[in-house]
Every structure is written in structure tokens, then in C-alpha cells.
Chain A
Amino acid sequence: MIAWYEQLFYLAVAFPFIGALVASPVVRLTGRLAPYILALFPAAGFLLVFALSEQIQGRQIMVAGFDWIPSFGVRFSFRLDGLSYAFALLVLGIGALIVLYSGGYLSKSAKQGRFFAFIFMFMGSMLGLVLSDDLITLFIFWELTSITSFLLIGFEHERETARRGALQALVITGGGGLALFAGLILIREVTGISSMSGLIDDPEAIMRSGAYVPILILVLAGAFTKSAQMPFHVWLPNAMEAPTPVSAYLHSATMVKAGIYLLMRMFPMLGGTPLWEIVLPLFGGVTLVVGALLSIRQSDVKLMLAYTTVASLGLLVMLIGIGSELALEAAVLYFIAHSLAKACLFMVAGSIDHGAGTRDIRALAGLWRTMPVTFAAALLGAAAMGGLPPLFGFLAKEEVYAAVAEAGPGLYAYLVTAAALVGNTVMFATILVVALKPFVGSLPSGLRKAHETSFLVWFGPLLLGVIGLLAGIFSEVTHQFISNPMAPPSIDEAVAITISVGFHLGPALYLSIVTIVAGALLYWKSQAVRARIAGILSAIGWGPDRGFDQLMRGLIAGSFRLTNVLQPGRLDYYMRVTFLVVVVALWSAMVFSGALPSGVPFPSLYFYEWMVLGLIVLGLLVVANAKSRLAAVVSLGIQGVAVALLFMLLGAPDLSFTQFMVEILSVAILALVMTRLRLMPADRRPWREVIPEMALAVMGGLGFALFLMSVTQMPFDSSVSEFFTRYSYTVAHGRNIVNVILVDFRAVDTMGEIAVVLTTGAAILALVRIRVSKKDRQGTRKKKRMAQAESL
């Protein structure tokens, strides 16, 4: 019985992917209407998820899915609870606005259809990620976001910087994804639980397992790389090479927030330990301060915003790390406020770029006259980001300060408070620069052509800014629909968030005032500060970004070196290595498992069997002493024929028959080729080459002999051969068991084998032809040159 909401789930997840499928044709067919039509897909998904808000508020948890790989216990399953609900709403809601915005922003691009397809795929992956319940499903969507963001960041792939940014993002987030994969598998192995729901129901499972520390490290590696924590943050500023709508989306609701989502999701299972409360605030705090300082150092609007994202992510990680009730509430509020404000500000940055033709803060001024709507959106976004009342961001910042002020023991609280204060102050200054500098003052002559952008471009940011304002004023409604549902899975008991714009005294308010005053001062001196930080950075010189380049170069050089060792392209080397491996495997397996045969029985043979054995040994001696290769081949054939004779004497006529034919054919073909090649002269090598190979040969032969002896000493299980003897004639009407096995009992095997023979034949044919045709080409080139010479 499928619950009614399951279809809604599937539909909501399917909508973005359907959008990706139809994007290109829709753009081709409807032209300017396309963004409106395409925005309906995420909008419809948004409404579908929102329709479940009543259930979510009633703390109902909805799980849907089907068995995917039952033998490994892998399901393809989704889970909608408060946390994933809030994330899904943001992904789809902001996604719809981004689609509209991209329609205006890229209206002249010929690649619009492809762009929409990519962004829809990305949206779907992100949605799947926050909704997935099964750990493997989660990982697949996690990696899908990496891959689709790679496509988006490198969208303008003609530019080298875009390709580098895309590759860097893929390497870093993909590498982290592999660590996460290992962590998830470890969780499955040690706890036997394969879904988020199972882990949430039994949050102590990981702690009990004893593998807590490795699991934590692996999961954090995934979350930190995705959410751009120091020193993995480098990919995020470089991802600014993506078209602005992508940046707006990546930084607000998706991609970088995936790590935050994972941390919030795993908090009940992994959080609350001393390790968690040290590692996360440490990384988060450093990221916050460094990101903020780097943000004010930039002069490109997009880069400034990018570094404030890094700083905000640091703040979020720090809050989740503190892990108190208040801190988690603060993280939830800040997350929502940041998503709304950052999307708005990025779209504003794109509008400035579009309207004025530059994003350099030093060249921009006075745009408020020509771009008033964009200015309004920028002010709203900045006020929200900076945390001014009565916007929603204000609530978030108050809660952040309240949380850090009461965190942990004395020193801990001072440290996190200091980090939050410094980070927020510098971020506030940066945001002010972004929102004010381009608009105030007098319009420079170079920007006379600046113009307000189209409806599609200014609609999204303005709407988000207004939502930020309304969400703050009517905070009760916001809390009811988003903040409260989002919080409970992270917090032990259900606690209602009640913070509103209303007046309140306390340390949080004082810290806010300090932030605003100091931030304004910093804004006033921003140019001097920028120069100062730039000076310090150039004095340091080496950063993670250059480190990444060096790492990649080292990786490539190292792989070349490794390839030269492993694949030198010499056949004798390969054969030596192969035989060495065989010898080592044989001997070590027998010695370590104690399977060496106990004593060698003296064989009791008839005199003619002795003669055949003698023939074999004689053949071998001749091979070893052969002066020419042809003689070696022929004497090897003699030895093979003697073995065939042995088979026949011991009662295996089929085997012996085949061996005869193979020996004859191989000798004939080899002899044929060699006579044509004129490889008659002997091959003489120095002793220092011969001796190791001889040792290898002896060890190999001896190893196989001992191995076979130990096998024959095992008790023989004759049930299979008895089966064949009994049923060969009655079932398959054949008295020759070997043939019956080949063509009847195990005919599918034989079919595979002859397919291999055919493929090998075709491959050899192709190889031989390549050499011949190369010779032909040389011949025709020579002919051409001669013809040219004659015509001269």
C-alpha cells in the first residue's frame, strides 16, 4: 500500500529532472516565454512540498522508496522531515527565481537551453540529496551535485579560468565525496543500519560501534570540502567563473549548503562529543575570520560575496559545532537568512555587471540614478545579511550572539564570541561596500550607458529582499512554517523558536551594536584596509590556491613517473613481472597456509612412461641450450608432444588429441613467422641477465609442481565426475563425457569461449593490419614525393 504522499515525493523529485529533459526544446519552441514556462517546474515542486507543511508541523515523518539492490540492502528511498522539508523549500523556491533570473540574464546566449538543462539537473541532485533516506542514495545524489556543478562552473568552457575552476571544484568536492562514501559504508558495516531514518531512531548506534572517530573524520571530510571550510575553501571563489545565476544558486540554497545539511542531519548521531565540539568550532571559526578578512580585500563584487559566503559557512559550522540548543536555533535562523540574502545579493551583482558592464568596485559609483530597483534590492539584501532590524537577518544575528555568549566554559565562549564578532563585523563592512559603493556618489562618465535591467533580472532579487523583510516582521509565521520544523531533528526535544524583532536587552544586543558601529567604521576606511590586507597576503605569498596547483602538477608528474615504472612498454619486462607475481603468490600462499605437500612420493611408472618423461626432460634441455630461436621453438614443440603422449597414456584421449593439434599448429605458425622474419641467429645474453631469469623459471616450475602435488594430496571429491558419468548418456545421449560437458552440460561456457576466440582473431587481424597499412602509407608518401620530384 503506497501512502498518498509517496507520489508527491516522487513527483517533487522528478520535476527538476523533467525540466532538464524538456529545457532545450522549450527554449527552442517558445523563445522569450521559456523562462516563465520552465520556472513552473520548480515552482510546482515547491507547492507540492509546501502542501505537506501541515504534516510537517505535526512532526509527521514521511518515508517512501523501493528496494534497489536488495542483495546489498540498498534502497532508493526518500525521507521528508522538518529538516529536509526546509531545505527542499529553499532549493525549489530559490531555484524557481534563479530560473527566471537566468532567463533574463542569458537571454542573448545561444546556449540557453543547455544552461537550463544543467541547472535543472543540479537542482534535482540537490533536492534528491536533502530528501534521500538511504545512505547510498544520499551518496549518489551528493556526487551528482559535484558533477552537475562541475558542468555549471565550467559552463563557459572556452575560458581557461572557467575550466580550472570547474576542475578544482570537482577534485576537491569529489575527493571529499569519496571520503564521505567510505564513512557511509563504514556506518553501514559497523552498525548494520543503512538509512538515515534508522540512524535517527537509534542515534547511539555509531557511538556504540567503536568506530566513531574514523566515521566522524570521514563524514567531516565530505562536509568540509563541500561547504568550503579552510583550507578547502579555494574552490569556492574560483567557482565564480560560473555565470552569475549559477553563483547565486550555488551560494544560497545548494552545493555549499550540502555540507551544512549533512552536519545538521548527522548531529544527533555524531554531535555532542568533545571531539565534535572542538573540531567544528575550530575549523568554522578560522574559516569565518579568514573568509571575512579575505572578502574585504577583494574589489570584484562577486568575489567579495564569495568570500562572505565562505565566512558565513564558517559561522554555520561553528554554531553546529557548539551544539547547544541556542546555537542550533541560531544556525537554522542564520541559514535561512543567509540563503535569502545571498541569493538576492548575487543576483544584484549580476545585474550590476549586466547594466554597468563591470563588477569592479573601484570603477562603480552613482548607479542609484539609473538602476533604482536594483539599488532597492541591494539595500534589502545587505540589511538582511548585515543583520539590521527589522529584517530576518537581524533575528539570526541576535540568536548567533546569544548562542556564542553563553557557549561552553569561559575561554571557549570568549574564543567563539571573538571569532563571531570579528567575522560579523568585517562581513558587515564588506556587505556595505557591495551594496552602497556601486550606487552612491556621482556617476562617472564611463558608466553613462548604465541602465536598469529587464523585469526578469530585477524581479528575483527584489522579491527575495522583500521576503527577507516580511519574514522578519512576521517572524511568528516564518517560525511556524520554516524555522521550527527545521530545528527539531537537530535538537533533542521540540523547542519552539520565538525570537522576534521586538526590543530586548542583553549581551546579544550590545554585541550587535558593536558590530554595526565597527562595521560602519571599517566601511569608511575600506580602501585602506583592502590595501593593508593585500600587503599582508603578498608578504605570505603562498596560499591554498597555489598549493592546489602544485598538488595537481605533482600528481601529474608522479603519475607519469609511476607509469614509466609500471608500463615501460617492453614485453620482456611485463613477462618477468607477471611470472614474478605468480611465483610469489604460489610460494607465499603455500608457505603461509602450511599447504606444502608432505613428502614427495616416488612415482611407480611403466618403462614407456619413463621414456616419455625422459623425452620431456630432453626437450627442455634442448630448449635451454638452443643456439637459434627456431631450434628452441621446435624442441619446445617436442616437449609439448611428449606431454600429449603422457595424457594419452594416462587415459585422456581428448585432451591429448587437442594438445597434439595445438602443439603442431603453434610450431607451424611460429616457424612460419620466424622463417619470414629471418630470426635465425641465436640470441645471446650475458649471464647476469640469464641467471635471475633462470632462478625465476626454476622457482615457478618448482612452485607449480609442489602446488599440484599438494592438490593431489587433498581428498578427492568425486561427486561431480560421478554425476557426469551417470547422466552423460541418459540425458545428453553422448558417451564422450568431455564433449558432452563442452556442448551440452556447460554449453554456455563454451559459447563464451568461442566468442573470445573470435574476438581474439579479429583483434590480431586488426593489429596486423595496422602495421601493414602504416607501411602502405609510407609507400604512398614516397610515391607522392617521387611524383612531385618528377613534375619538377
Chain B
Amino acid sequence: MRTVIFRVSAPYLTSLMFLFSLFVLLRGHNEPGGGFIGGLIAASAIAVYGMAVGVEAVRRSLYFHPIVYAAFGLAMAVLSGAASVFAGFQFMTGLWAFPQALGGDVPISSTLFFDIGVYLVIVGAICAIALSLEERYSD
């Protein structure tokens, strides 16, 4: 798998996939997409990078253990739901704000953060599984 062409092109491919996954994540509320699909794309991106440069390099570039991202994502999802409790609504009620920026409305909501949490859980959990499997059989 580790041909020169693949190894050279993999970082670009991965970056593009990541960018695309973020795009899919953020547009999810109105167009096909969302945290789950975005997370899957990001996980594939990491898998591609892992195939090209090896698990060790991926782990170094991730900095934290992948399961940490997943845990952080779950915490974020729960907290974004709890935010509405502090604001006096029921748990998981969506909160919305429409601040003006760059000459237009930028809708920001607690559901967006919830979706980002989903994204992180998917990326973290799948990467953790994939990386550990690769590692186990690469020795």
C-alpha cells in the first residue's frame, strides 16, 4: 500500500476529506449531512492517512488518544442539552441566536454543538477501533 504516489498524495487527500467532512457537518441542518455522516467521512480520512503513513504517525498527529475525542464529544452533546436547563427550558430544548457577522445572519444554536458532539463521538470511536485493529496486526 505504501507506494510513493499514495504516500505523497495521502496528506492532501486527507486534508480535503477533513474539509469536506466539516462542510457536511455544518450544512447538515438544512441539506443532507450532519454530525453522523461528517464523522464517518472524517474517520475515513484518518483511515486513509493511516494506510499511507502508518498507525504511529496517525497517533502522533492526533495528539490525544482517539477515545478522548469521543468522550469529549459525548460530554459536549450532554452539556449542549443541559444548557437549555440552565436557561429555564426543558432538557434538550434547542436554543438559538442570530448574531450579525460578515453582512448576514449567522444562526448559532445549541443543536449545532450537539451535532458537533455527535461528530466527535463517531470520529473518536471509529478511529479508536480502526487504529487498534491495525496496530494489533501490524507487529
Tell me which of A654, A761, A765 contacts B34 (CB under 8 A). A654
Instruction: Tell me whether B99 is interfacial, beta carbon within 8 Å.
Output: no
Instruction: Tell me whether B43 is interfacial, beta carbon within 8 Å.
Output: yes
A739 and B126 CA atoms in complex are apart in Å by 21
Instruction: Tell me whether B9 is interfacial, beta carbon within 8 Å.
Output: no
With contact pairs A672-B134, A733-B96 given, residues A757 and B122 touching in the complex (Cβ less than 8 Å):
yes
Tell me which of A653, A669, A743 contacts B133 (CB under 8 A). A669
Tell me which of A653, A657, A757, A769 contacts B125 (CB under 8 A). A757
CB–CB A748/B92 < 8 A: yes
> Which residues in B have some Cβ–Cβ distance to A below 8 Å?
24, 28-37, 40-41, 43-44, 47, 51, 67, 70-71, 73-74, 77-78, 81, 91-92, 94, 96, 107, 109, 111, 114-115, 117-118, 121-122, 124-126, 128-130, 132-134, 136-138
CB–CB B130/A669 < 8 A: yes
Q: Which residue of A lies closest to B43 (CB)?
A: A665
> Which residues in A have some Cβ–Cβ distance to B below 8 Å?
653-654, 657-658, 661-662, 664-665, 668-669, 672-673, 676-677, 732-736, 738-740, 742-744, 747-748, 750-751, 754-755, 757-758, 760-762, 764-765, 768-769, 771-772
A725 and B88 CA atoms in complex are apart in Å by 27
Q: Distance (Å) between the CB of B35 and the closest chain A CB? A: 7
B contact face: mostly helix, strand, loop, or mixed: helix
With contact pairs A736-B28, A743-B114, A747-B92 given, residues A665 and B126 touching in the complex (Cβ less than 8 Å):
yes
Tell me which of B33, B125, B136 contacts A739 (CB under 8 A). B33
With contact pairs A657-B37, A664-B44 given, residues A736 and B132 touching in the complex (Cβ less than 8 Å):
no
Some 15 contacts from A to B, beta carbons below 8 A apart, are A653-B32, A654-B32, A658-B36, A661-B44, A665-B43, A676-B137, A734-B111, A735-B30, A736-B31, A742-B34, A750-B118, A755-B74, A758-B121, A762-B67, A765-B129
CB contacts between A and B, total, < 8 Å:
143
What are the residues of chain B within 8 A of A658 when measuring CB–CB?
36-37, 40
What are the residues of chain B within 8 A of A748 when measuring CB–CB?
81, 91-92
A contact face: mostly helix, strand, loop, or mixed: helix
CB–CB B47/A736 < 8 A: no
CB–CB A739/B29 < 8 A: yes
A657 and B96 CA atoms in complex are apart in Å by 27
A772 and B121 CA atoms in complex are apart in Å by 25
A499 and B78 CA atoms in complex are apart in Å by 74
A772 and B128 CA atoms in complex are apart in Å by 15
Q: Which residue of B lies closest to A658 (CB)?
A: B37
Q: Which residue of A lies closest to B116 (CB)?
A: A743
Q: Which residue of A lies closest to B131 (CB)?
A: A765
CB–CB B81/A676 < 8 A: no
What are the residues of chain A within 8 A of B36 when measuring CB–CB?
658, 742
Tell me which of B107, B109, B126, B137 contacts A673 (CB under 8 A). B137
Tell me which of B34, B47, B126 contacts A743 (CB under 8 A). B34
Tell me which of A736, A738, A751, A764 contacts B129 (CB under 8 A). A764
* 4 A-B pairs with least C-beta separation: A676-B137, A761-B125, A661-B40, A653-B32
CB–CB B29/A733 < 8 A: yes
Q: Distance (Å) between the CB of B12 and the closest chain A CB? A: 19
CB–CB A747/B111 < 8 A: yes
CB–CB A662/B40 < 8 A: yes
Q: Distance (Å) between the CB of B109 and the closest chain A CB? A: 7
With contact pairs A665-B126, A765-B129 given, residues A733 and B67 touching in the complex (Cβ less than 8 Å):
no
CB–CB B115/A758 < 8 A: no
CB–CB A758/B81 < 8 A: no
CB–CB A761/B96 < 8 A: no
CB–CB B73/A754 < 8 A: yes
A735 and B130 CA atoms in complex are apart in Å by 34
A677 and B139 CA atoms in complex are apart in Å by 11
CB–CB B41/A661 < 8 A: yes
Q: Distance (Å) between the CB of A236 and the closest chain B CB? A: 55
CB–CB B78/A751 < 8 A: yes
A228 and B122 CA atoms in complex are apart in Å by 60
What are the residues of chain B within 8 A of A744 when measuring CB–CB?
94, 111
A762 and B65 CA atoms in complex are apart in Å by 11
- Known contacts A669-B47, A764-B128; 10 further A-B pairs (Cβ under 8 A): A657-B33, A665-B44, A669-B130, A733-B94, A736-B30, A740-B29, A748-B81, A751-B78, A754-B117, A758-B73
Q: Distance (Å) between the CB of B70 and the closest chain A CB? A: 5
What are the residues of chain B within 8 A of A653 when measuring CB–CB?
32
Q: Which residue of A lies closest to B40 (CB)?
A: A661
What are the residues of chain B within 8 A of A755 when measuring CB–CB?
74
Q: Distance (Å) between the CB of B99 and the closest chain A CB? A: 14
Q: Distance (Å) between the CB of B132 and the closest chain A CB? A: 5
A668 and B9 CA atoms in complex are apart in Å by 18
What are the residues of chain A within 8 A of B77 when measuring CB–CB?
750-751, 754
What are the residues of chain A within 8 A of B133 when measuring CB–CB?
669, 672-673, 768
CB–CB B29/A754 < 8 A: no
With contact pairs A758-B121, A760-B125 given, residues A732 and B94 touching in the complex (Cβ less than 8 Å):
yes
A765 and B66 CA atoms in complex are apart in Å by 11
CB–CB B121/A765 < 8 A: no
Q: Which residue of A lies closest to B65 (CB)?
A: A765
A657 and B109 CA atoms in complex are apart in Å by 24
Q: Distance (Å) between the CB of A604 and the closest chain B CB? A: 27
Q: Which residue of A lies closest to B48 (CB)?
A: A668
CB–CB B28/A739 < 8 A: yes
Q: Distance (Å) between the CB of B96 and the closest chain A CB? A: 6
Q: Distance (Å) between the CB of A674 and the closest chain B CB? A: 9
A732 and B74 CA atoms in complex are apart in Å by 21
CB–CB A657/B111 < 8 A: no
With contact pairs A653-B32, A748-B92, A764-B132 given, residues A672 and B51 touching in the complex (Cβ less than 8 Å):
yes
